[in-house]
Structure 1
Amino acid sequence: MRVHALVIGRFQPLHLGHIHALKYVMRQCSYMIIGIGSSQYSWTWRNPFSASERMEMLVRALRAEGVELGRVALVPIPDSTPDQPDWARIVLERCPKFDVVYSNDDWTRRELEAVGIVVKPIPFYRREVYSATRIRALMASGDNSWVKLVPKAVMEFMMEINGASRVREIWLREQRDAKGKLRLR
């Protein structure tokens, strides 16, 4: 089997559902490219962690899961911009050659299939439980139950970088900013 597969995610933060998906893709291919989506963003509610922090989460978690890291490449993939509106082209330019993309995101599927790329779905794993949005909300509220939803290696990394505190700080800042904007109207 000489299949090179691409998986793109934001991993904000990496959680056990992501790990389940990545291990599924690893069983389907000989080499996996993990695209770190929205790589140009950090310190926002949707994207609190930098691309390099997300790469660190992935390396630590995959290593702890026993994944052979020589079969994995990590590639930052920025979102399209007015200067570079063709996101599929960004993906093709940034990534090593791949044969197939695994994604459940409708927009990603449409963009890549439009340029002839084969896109296959990934079986969901307890999606109602494992959601990065939900995990960020738990972090923002000070609810430490988020630690059960991420790999131990990610939890440890979050502690090192004060990740939960950062998410709460970002949430509070964005709430203040939103209230200020409402008053200006």
Structure 2
Amino acid sequence: MNIKRGLLIGRIQPLHNGHMSVIQDTLNEVDELIIGIGSADQSHTNSNPFTSGERVLMLSKALREYKVDPSRYYIIPLEDIACNSLWVGHVKMLTPPFEKVYSGNSLVKQLFRENKIEVVQPPLFNREEYSGTEVRKRILNNENWEDLVPQSVIEVINEIDGVERMQNLNKKEVSELIK
């Protein structure tokens, strides 16, 4: 039996309902989905507040919450490397074989296309509302962010004191700008 396997790459900072819609849609096209957590080496910044392990936890719990069969996906952290032209080889070394890449990131799409790998732009779901940037902005502004993410992600962010971390990171960045 020939298994169709795809690779979906996202930073997941944090996981939101748009990510879950893309994952569910992509699972309709492939037998197995490799979910690559991009920029796994980055954390504790305003753009990347969560560690790779925390993002794995968010994703694992949300997939369980959505009752996604665990035999249909792999979660693999993908670190950035200094040389973009070598990154696809790095990703291929870390993941099971795949036939297609699903990404909305223009650099990721370009790098895989240059390596003769089919790339698909997944549909975006209400992108203005469902984006990591919007979730992070709402957290920092004490606005309702909980409606944008699965319940399990709220629980993980609360467990790791993620709101307080993000507010402290933001204060640090603002104070450095003032200096």
C-alpha contact (below 8 Å) 2:9/2:38 kept by paired residues: yes
1:90-144 CA-to-partner distances (Å, cap 9, x unmatched) read 111111101111112111110111011110111111001111111111111222x
- What's 1:80 paired with? 81
Alignment of structure 1 residues 72-151 onto 2, 5 Å: 72-81=73-82, 86-143=86-143, 145-151=144-150
The residue type equivalent to 2:86 in the other structure is: D
Q: Quick one: distance in 2 between partners of 1:2 and 1:25?
A: 14
Q: Specify the SS of the correspondent of 1:6.
A: strand
* Aligned residues: CA RMSD: 1.3
- What's 1:52 paired with? 53
Q: Specify the SS of the correspondent of 1:11.
A: coil
- What's 2:72 paired with? 71
How does the TM-score come out when normalised to structure 2?
A: 0.95
C-alpha contact (below 8 Å) 2:85/2:111 kept by paired residues: no
Alpha-carbon shift at residue 72 of structure 1 (Å): 0.9
1:175 and 2:143 aligned: no
Alpha-carbon shift at residue 80 of structure 1 (Å): 2.0
C-alpha contact (below 8 Å) 2:128/2:134 kept by paired residues: no
1:6 and 2:7 aligned: yes
Q: Quick one: distance in 1 between partners of 2:85 and 2:114?
A: 14
C-alpha contact (below 8 Å) 1:139/1:165 kept by paired residues: no
The residue type equivalent to 2:170 in the other structure is: W
The residue type equivalent to 1:87 in the other structure is: W
Distance 1:109 1:85, change over 3 A: closer
Q: Specify the SS of the correspondent of 2:43.
A: coil
Q: Quick one: distance in 2 between partners of 1:4 and 1:178?
A: 45
Q: Quick one: distance in 2 between partners of 1:170 and 1:41?
A: 14
- What's 1:39 paired with? 40
C-alpha contact (below 8 Å) 1:14/1:132 kept by paired residues: yes
Q: Quick one: distance in 1 between partners of 2:102 and 2:141?
A: 33
Q: Quick one: distance in 2 between partners of 1:178 and 1:105?
A: 28
1:16 and 2:17 aligned: yes
Alpha-carbon shift at residue 85 of structure 1 (Å): 5.5
Alpha-carbon shift at residue 25 of structure 1 (Å): 0.7
The residue type equivalent to 1:75 in the other structure is: I
Q: Quick one: distance in 1 between partners of 2:7 and 2:89?
A: 14
Q: Quick one: distance in 2 between partners of 1:125 and 1:101?
A: 18
Name the % identity. Answer: 33
C-alpha contact (below 8 Å) 1:6/1:98 kept by paired residues: yes
How does the TM-score come out when normalised to structure 1?
A: 0.92
The answer for unaligned runs of 5 or more in structure 1 is 181-185
Q: Quick one: distance in 2 between partners of 1:126 and 1:43?
A: 27
1:23-58 CA-to-partner distances (Å, cap 9, x unmatched) read 011111111000010000110111100001000000
